């Protein structure tokens, strides 16, 4: 299975909105609504911020939203804040009953 | 409060077997509500799913690691374990144990992570 494709980096100014794409195939993202997104700050473990494409866990800011179109999922961060500077990973279930991650996207707040 | 705690040697020699255990407190690994798994992250790199176990019976593995990995469970101790054999320097990583809600992609709890270095 191949890793999902994410841009290496995305940047934005405070208050702006940014979108991170996660490209997969019909064997993963395109076949299931089992896409999740994780935020990881340096030296910390990952934290789930979106699951099942667009669901937000309790306690996660509503500035984070997820969507999917075809074989590509997206994470949008609205009203960008300095604490949003982190690495973001997408993850999807696959048709061979496994899970695959994206390579990660570093978000920089300018 | 649910807690997952990885334990095991922090240093493993090349060609030997990496063994880690995840001790779960606050939930039963026999529950049908959750799946329990392992994810790793090499230093400075991204996340890689290793595999998972459900109800201590069903297991799934990353195809790229399948020939070297075994995930097993000890329900009496409420623990699940990872064994990765024939390790090389490429297996050096922080290993996380996780819980995922069944029927969803909601991986809600992670252990703090255990750094395992493969070196002679």
> Could you report the per-residue pLDDT of A78-90, keeping only the tens digit for each?
999 999 999 999 9
Residue A72: pLDDT band by 50, 70, 90 thresholds?
A: very high
CA nearest to B95 within chain A: A45
Q: Are B46 and A101 inside 8 Å of each other by CB?
A: yes
User: Chain A interface, mutation test: which of B3, B34, B47, most A Cβ atoms within 10 Å?
Assistant: B47
- pLDDT of A99 > 90? The answer is yes
**Averaged over B82-96, what is the pLDDT?**
98
Looking at chain A, the whole-number percentage of residues with pLDDT higher than 90 is 98
Structure-derived torsion over alpha carbons of residues B116, A87, A105, A89, reported in degrees to the nearest 10: 70
pLDDT value at residue A57: 97
> Which structure tokens are listed for B4?
């997952």
Report pLDDT digits (tens) over B13-22.
Answer: 999 999 999 9
Q: Are A99 and B111 inside 8 Å of each other by CB?
A: no
The shortest C-alpha distance from B4 to chain A (Å) reads 12
DSSP string for A32-61: -S-EEEEEE-TTS--EEEEBTTTB--TTS-
The shortest C-alpha distance from A18 to chain B (Å) reads 21
CA nearest to A44 within chain B: B112
All residues of chain B having their beta carbon less than 8 Å from the beta carbon of residue A104 are: 46-47
**Averaged over B74-94, what is the pLDDT?**
97
**Averaged over B50-72, what is the pLDDT?**
94
- pLDDT of B56 > 80? The answer is no
User: Do the beta carbons of residue B23 and residue B78 sit within 8 Å?
Assistant: yes
Residue B55: pLDDT band by 50, 70, 90 thresholds?
A: confident
**Averaged over A11-38, what is the pLDDT?**
97
**Hunting for tokens 């890689």 — which residue is that?**
B48
Looking at chain B, the whole-number percentage of residues with pLDDT higher than 90 is 95
- pLDDT of A106 > 90? The answer is yes
Residue A23: pLDDT band by 50, 70, 90 thresholds?
A: very high
User: Do the beta carbons of residue B32 and residue B57 sit within 8 Å?
Assistant: no
- pLDDT of A2 > 90? The answer is no
pLDDT value at residue A92: 98
pLDDT value at residue A1: 76
The shortest C-alpha distance from A8 to chain B (Å) reads 11
- pLDDT of B57 > 90? The answer is no
**Hunting for tokens 């992609």 — which residue is that?**
B105
What is the Cα–Cα distance from B92 to B42, expressed in whole angstroms? 6
pLDDT value at residue A26: 96
User: Chain A interface, mutation test: which of B105, B106, B115, most A Cβ atoms within 10 Å?
Assistant: B105
When the pLDDT of each residue in chain B is averaged and rounded to a whole number, the result is 96
């Amino acid at each position: 299975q191949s890793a999902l494709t994410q841009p290496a980096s995305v940047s934005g100014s405070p208050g702006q909105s940014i979108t991170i794409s996660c490209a997969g195939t019909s064997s993963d993202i395109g076949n299931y609504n089992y896409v999740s997104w994780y935020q990881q700050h340096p030296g910390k473990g990952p934290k789930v911020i979106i699951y099942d494409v667009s669901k937000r866990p309790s306690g996660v800011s509503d500035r984070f939203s997820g969507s999917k179109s075809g074989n590509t999922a997206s994470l949008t961060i609205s009203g960008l804040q300095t604490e949003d500077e982190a690495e973001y990973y997408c993850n999807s279930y696959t048709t061979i009953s496994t899970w695959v991650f994206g390579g990660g996207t570093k978000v920089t707040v300018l | 409060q649910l807690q997952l705690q990885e334990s095991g040697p922090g240093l493993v020699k090349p060609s030997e077997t990496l063994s880690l255990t995840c001790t779960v407190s606050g939930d039963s690994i026999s529950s049908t509500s959750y799946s329990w798994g392992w994810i790793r992250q090499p230093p400075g790199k991204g996340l890689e799913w290793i595999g998972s176990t459900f109800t201590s019976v069903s297991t799934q593995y990353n195809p790229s690691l399948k020939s070297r990995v075994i995930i097993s469970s000890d329900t009496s101790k409420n623990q699940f374990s990872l064994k990765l054999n024939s390790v090389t320097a490429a297996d050096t990583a922080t290993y996380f144990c996780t819980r995922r809600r069944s029927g969803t992609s909601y991986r809600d709890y992670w252990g703090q992570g255990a750094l395992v270095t493969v070196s002679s």
